């Protein structure tokens, strides 16, 4: 059964590791995974532990293809992949898009992660309806005649690929996780990339005090997000990649100022389903 409206679903909102404390349950325990659910396909952004939850929800009657876009190869963005049940079903057509980052091929990282002794099986166990596609960030990926995805590099240890999804000429969604404000152009690069998009999901791991001791860790601060939000007021921004060690209350308290000052900013929450125009 196909939905009558497109929707954005957060299956995982944490960074680093799946959070283990119930004080983090409201905003989410699983790591990075977001679904853009369209009438003709599922577009999945990152394969953190949250992707396993999507795999449990999708049923065999849903014949829409699944396109998975990986942002980078740190394990919190990949750990859900071998637990994603549709990969083992010949009823699902799945494409996994892997950016070449830091002179490394993504498929080599996948093969390291999903192989003994780190994991009991290899990707040879996946269905033959699963395919892998390498690309160079900066390329445009054409998923269909109506859906194109612009890709771009952003600063993060090992590099990170951001995505801008366009459907029928409308920039529906930008996804940039993880990213660090590492030079004077970084935030403006984000603004330029996300401008005119309806939605932006972006790393906001630290408050302005924490970021001082987290230089080089690869993440943004809430102060960085405020600068971005002020320049693209028509874009709905979701604070994302919540730190594993921060409780819901701590994140809410840290975010209170930017949420009150910027009408276009909100907290990403696991299992939130946003209806799109």
Q: Cβ neighbours of residue 90 under 8 Å, at least 6 residues apart?
A: 127, 128, 129
Closest CA to 162 of 104, 207, 203: 203
Q: Cβ neighbours of residue 104 under 8 Å, at least 6 residues apart?
A: 73, 158
Per the CB < 8 A criterion, the answer to whether 202 and 240 are in contact is yes
What is the reported pLDDT for 106?
95
pLDDT tens-digit map of 63-109? 999 999 999 999 999 999 999 999 999 999 999 999 999 999 999 99
Task: Identify whether 213 is part of a domain.
Answer: yes
Phi, psi of 78 (to 5 degrees): -130, -15
- For residue 22, the SS3 value is helix
Residue with tokens 């920039």: 171
Closest CA to 11 of 32, 37, 27, 41: 32
Domain around 63: 7-275
Task: List residues bridging with 211 in a β-sheet.
Answer: none
Q: What is the CA radius of gyration of the chain?
A: 18
Residue 58 vs residues 89, 109, 117, 211, 275: alpha-carbon distances, Å: 12, 27, 30, 38, 18
Provide the angle, in degrees to the nearest 10, between the axes of the packed helices 248-261 and 222-231.
30
What is the reported pLDDT for 4?
54
What are the structure tokens assigned to 72, written together? 């980078």
Number of domains forming the structure of the chain: 1
Q: β-strand 273-275 against 7-12: which pairing, if any?
A: antiparallel
Q: Cβ neighbours of residue 79 under 8 Å, at least 6 residues apart?
A: 31, 47, 48, 49, 113
What is the reported pLDDT for 1?
42
Per the CB < 8 A criterion, the answer to whether 238 and 270 are in contact is no
Task: Identify whether 96 is part of a domain.
Answer: yes
Instruction: Report the CATH number at residue 52.
Output: 3.60.15.10
Task: Identify whether 1 is part of a domain.
Answer: no
Task: Identify whether 240 is part of a domain.
Answer: yes
Task: Identify whether 2 is part of a domain.
Answer: no
User: What pTM value is reported for the model?
Assistant: 0.96
What is the reported pLDDT for 223?
97
13 alpha-carbon distance from chain centroid: 8
pLDDT tens-digit map of 14-31? 999 998 888 899 999 999
Task: Give the DSSP letter of residue 108.
Answer: H
Collect the ranges in the chain with pLDDT lower than 70.
1-4
């Amino acid at each position: 059964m196909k939905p009558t409206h497109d929707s954005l679903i957060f299956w995982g909102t944490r960074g680093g590791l799946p959070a283990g404390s119930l004080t983090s349950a409201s905003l989410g325990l699983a790591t990075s995974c977001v679904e853009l659910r369209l009438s003709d396909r599922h577009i999945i952004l990152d394969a953190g532990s949250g992707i396993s939850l999507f795999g449990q929800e999708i049923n065999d009657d849903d014949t829409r293809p699944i396109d998975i876009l990986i942002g980078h190869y740190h394990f919190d963005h990949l750990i859900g992949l071998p637990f994603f049940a549709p990969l083992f079903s010949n009823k699902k057509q799945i494409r996994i898009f892997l950016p070449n980052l830091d002179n490394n091929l993504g498929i080599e990282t996948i093969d390291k992660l999903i192989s003994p002794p780190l994991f009991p099986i290899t990707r040879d166990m996946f269905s033959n309806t699963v395919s892998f596609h390498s690309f160079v960030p900066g390329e445009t990926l054409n998923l269909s005649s109506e859906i194109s995805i612009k890709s771009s590099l952003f600063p993060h240890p090992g590099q990170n690929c951001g995505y801008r999804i366009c459907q029928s000429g409308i920039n529906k969604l930008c996804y940039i996780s993880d990213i660090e404000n590492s030079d004077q152009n970084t935030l403006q690069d984000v603004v330029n990339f996300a401008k005119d998009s309806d939605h932006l999901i972006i790393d906001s791991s630290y408050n302005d005090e924490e970021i001082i001791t987290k230089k080089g860790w690869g993440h943004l601060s809430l102060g960085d997000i405020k600068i971005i939000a002020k320049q693209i007021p028509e874009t709905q921004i979701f604070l994302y990649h919540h730190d594993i060690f921060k409780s819901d209350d701590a994140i809410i308290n840290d975010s209170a100022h930017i949420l009150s000052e910027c009408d276009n900013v909100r907290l990403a929450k696991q299992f939130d389903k946003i209806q799109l125009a």
